[in-house]
């Protein structure tokens, strides 16, 4: 038979990490959601009709971290050994800042896990506030810090 090897353009694959060392790894990501003054006040007071927004977003972020490799196609599954989620409320610009820190002991970094946790927290905040505000904007989602592994310590210059 005449066989044509079909090389899919750009050939997506999950990179082989089997030669990498198992080390302690950590990543911190952050992002924010801006809303109008009224929405912000309701969240802060814990009086949004759907429930306590930040308590739900915190649980959602932790569960989202565990779903990372099922959402991001080329991301390796890994054991997550610890997750923490923090919120800061910016009263002047009425926006909520979410910071997620993830730790693991494995062969790949956890920056995607931290970023996914931030994204799921922001989406959850949006969902619980959207009845009163459809104009909210999520942004400034970035990796702040990353430790462990071959590439060493990364720290963003402008956090």
Return the residues of window 44-103 that contact a second copy according to CB under 8 A: 44, 46-56, 58-60, 62-67, 69-93, 96-97, 103
Report if residue 39 touches a second copy, rule: CB under 8 A.
Answer: no
Residues 9-28 that bind a second copy (CB under 8 A): 9-18, 24
With CB under 8 A as the contact rule, the residue among 120, 129, 147, 149 that binds a second copy is 120
Report if residue 152 touches a second copy, rule: CB under 8 A.
Answer: no
Report if residue 41 touches a second copy, rule: CB under 8 A.
Answer: no
With CB under 8 A as the contact rule, the residue among 141, 149, 153, 159 that binds a second copy is 141
127 in catalytic set: yes
Helix axes 37-44, 111-129, angle to 10 degrees: 100
Kind and range of the H or E element at 122?
helix 111-129
Per-position DSSP letters for 69-118, written without gaps between them: HHHSTTPPP----EEEEEEEEETTTTEEEEEEEEEEEESS--HHHHHHHH
- Largest Cα span, the chain: 71
CB of 39 to a second copy, least distance (A): 14
Which residue's structure tokens are 């196609």? 73
Q: Which residues are catalytic?
A: 127
């Amino acid at each position: 038979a005449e066989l044509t090897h079909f090389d899919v353009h750009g050939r997506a694959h999950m990179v082989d990490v089997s030669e990498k060392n198992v080390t302690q790894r950590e990543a911190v990501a952050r992002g924010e959601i801006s809303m109008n003054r009224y929405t912000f006040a309701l969240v802060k007071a814990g009086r949004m009709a759907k429930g306590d927004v930040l308590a739900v977003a915190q649980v959602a972020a932790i569960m989202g971290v565990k779903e990372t490799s099922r959402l991001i196609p080329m991301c390796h599954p890994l054991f997550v050994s610890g997750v923490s989620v923090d919120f800061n409320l910016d009263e002047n610009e009425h926006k909520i800042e979410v910071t997620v820190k993830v730790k693991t002991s494995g062969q790949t970094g956890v920056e995607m896990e931290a970023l996914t946790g931030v994204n799921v927290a922001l989406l959850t905040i949006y969902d619980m506030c959207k009845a009163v505000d459809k104009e909210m904007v999520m942004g400034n989602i970035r990796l702040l810090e990353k430790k462990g592994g071959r590439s060493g310590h990364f720290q963003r210059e402008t956090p």
